[in-house]
A and B are shown apart, each in its own frame.
Chain A
Amino acid sequence: MSIVAGMPGAAQRGPSRPGGRQQVVNSDGSGERFREVVMPHLADALSLARWLTGSAHDAEDVVQDACIRALAGIDRYDGRNARAWVLAIVRNTCFTWLAKHRPRSLIVAGDISAIDELAQTSAVGELPATPEAELIRKADLATVETAIAALPHLLREALVLRDVSGLSYKEIAAMLSVPIGTVMSRLARARAQLAAAVAEAR
């Protein structure tokens, strides 16, 4: 991966000779960087957007918006974890998109402080006992999908970022601008609710 392309100054190097044969036309390399940094993670981006919006069709719209944002902000990519960088943009784009198109989905779970407060007090311990592993293993996938879709937005977000996108607690905490403890409690609550819903559906 070319680090040089992201160095300050690289963008001001001026236009490449138009018409230079075999020369890709990028005047500032952003298109090239986009291909290197963003395109490899398109499937992950789509997957995250699919779970956050709840629709494959909407996911494409969101990812397209996210790609435009990523392209515009490619200079801010610091050369480290490209996947986490791309997914953070997708997550933020989803949030904006949901606020515009499905404000209610955010409002229902909207009282962030209440959920997190609940999670940090003894409430975690008062979660219903998780159903047996065997019961969960037997659940069919459609049930699980429906149950994930029914989770409050904040909990679903934590679950999906971790268990579908495979991001670390640290990466999620940075992405959501919350302490790691909050990520942990949201995740625990999300899984408890999901497990309970899956068991109940049987």
Chain B
Amino acid sequence: MAENLIQPGDILLLHALADGELDTVSAMALEQRLAAEPALEAEFQSIVALKEKVASLGRPAISPDFHERMAALGAGASASTRPPAANRLARGWQGWQGWQNIAAAVLVTALVASGATYLLAPGRSGMSMEDIVAASHRRSLLAASPVDIVSSDRHTVKPWLDAKLGISPPATDLAAQGYPLLGGRVDVVGADAVPTLVYRHNEHLITLMAAPGTKAITPPASETAGGYNIVHWSEGGFSFWAISDLEAAELMTFVADYRG
């Protein structure tokens, strides 16, 4: 068998794997082949390197002026679509209302921009963060797949999260310590998207949510919620929540390995 020959179909599969577009079973099968066939592996690494390169290209900055003009566009819509009668009545108000709209636009933008900062405000929906983390973990166990991007390769998972959210936690490779990376997903907590990694330990899944936007540094602490063990800590701009049905001590070991 000519091992160095890469079949045309394989090329597309390699790209799909790098893009996290393969289902769990196909991804696993292909990853096993990668381990056995150096030519495939080399090709895969090149694709990943190229993707990383493109992802690292700078993004154009939005000038405040442009942002303001687009915001005003939305604000202006209201005035121009108003029926004539109302328009006449409102004429005296127009200047004031235009400003009010721009102010509203700025406010909405500011809220969106600051979204992450009130993420961990306690008791927002009557649920504690522990409950939310537990619910998310439980839901992921019930779903067809606990991850939205399947890959044991951290070089695939991290860019995927970056592309979705513009932010991602370190996707540490812990396969050697007995915690292969299964993939990643995006959880929604309150109104915020939170990057989430999923590791496996024997038959147990470990969900690791990393809520960005904190400056706090707190050491890992064990908690329980919804019948699961949780370890919570903050560092490097993220508030981390590891949750699993692993024993508390085992979960703490995982956290220690993850933090390096």
Q: Contact string, A14-55, partner B, CB cutoff 8 A, digits 1/0? A: 010011000011111011101110111011001100100000
- Give CA–CA (A141, B86) in the complex, Å: 55
The reply to whether B56 and A141 contact each other, CB–CB distance below 8 Å, is: yes
Compute the total of residue contacts between A and B using a CB distance below 8 Å.
Answer: 172
The reply to whether B93 and A15 contact each other, CB–CB distance below 8 Å, is: no
Q: A42-B70, A122-B8, A185-B12 are in contact. Are A163 and B55 (CB under 8 A)?
A: yes
Tell me the dominant secondary structure on chain B's binding face: helix
- Which of A2-10, A60-68, A88-96, A103-111 forms part of the interface with chain B? A60-68
List residues of chain A with CB within 8 A of the CB of B75: 31
The reply to whether B60 and A50 contact each other, CB–CB distance below 8 Å, is: yes
The reply to whether B53 and A24 contact each other, CB–CB distance below 8 Å, is: no
Q: A50-B60, A124-B11, A163-B51 are in contact. Are A30 and B105 (CB under 8 A)?
A: no
List residues of chain A with CB within 8 A of the CB of B59: 43, 46-47
Q: Is B120's CB within 8 Å of the partner chain A?
A: no
Q: Which of B69, B71, B87 contacts A35, CB < 8 Å?
A: B71
Q: A34-B73, A47-B59 are in contact. Are A39 and B108 (CB under 8 A)?
A: yes
Interface residues of A in 113-133 (CB under 8 A from B): 122, 124-125, 127, 129-133
Q: Is A191's CB within 8 Å of the partner chain B?
A: yes
Q: Is B114's CB within 8 Å of the partner chain A?
A: no
Q: Is A99's CB within 8 Å of the partner chain B?
A: no
- Which of B76-84, B133-141, B215-223, B240-248 forms part of the interface with chain A? B76-84
Q: Is B100's CB within 8 Å of the partner chain A?
A: yes
Closest B residue to A134 by CB, please name it. Answer: B49
Interface residues of B in 1-56 (CB under 8 A from A): 6-8, 11-12, 15-16, 19, 21, 42-43, 45-56
- Give CA–CA (A28, B83) in the complex, Å: 10
Q: Is B256's CB within 8 Å of the partner chain A?
A: no
> Nearest chain A CB to B113's CB is how many angstroms away?
9
The reply to whether B82 and A25 contact each other, CB–CB distance below 8 Å, is: yes
The reply to whether A39 and B60 contact each other, CB–CB distance below 8 Å, is: no
> Nearest chain B CB to A197's CB is how many angstroms away?
11
- Give CA–CA (A181, B21) in the complex, Å: 12
> Nearest chain A CB to B73's CB is how many angstroms away?
5
Q: A26-B78, A194-B50 are in contact. Are A31 and B101 (CB under 8 A)?
A: yes
List residues of chain B with CB within 8 A of the CB of A38: 70, 74
The reply to whether B57 and A136 contact each other, CB–CB distance below 8 Å, is: no
Closest A residue to B43 by CB, please name it. Answer: A130
List residues of chain A with CB within 8 A of the CB of B47: 130, 191
Q: Which of B60, B87, B105 contacts A56, CB < 8 Å?
A: B60
List residues of chain A with CB within 8 A of the CB of B66: 46, 60, 63
List residues of chain B with CB within 8 A of the CB of A169: 16, 19, 21
Q: Contact string, A135-168, partner B, CB cutoff 8 A, digits 1/0? A: 0110101001100100000000001001111101
Q: A35-B108, A124-B11 are in contact. Are A130 and B46 (CB under 8 A)?
A: yes
Interface residues of A in 55-79 (CB under 8 A from B): 56, 59-60, 63-64, 67-68, 71
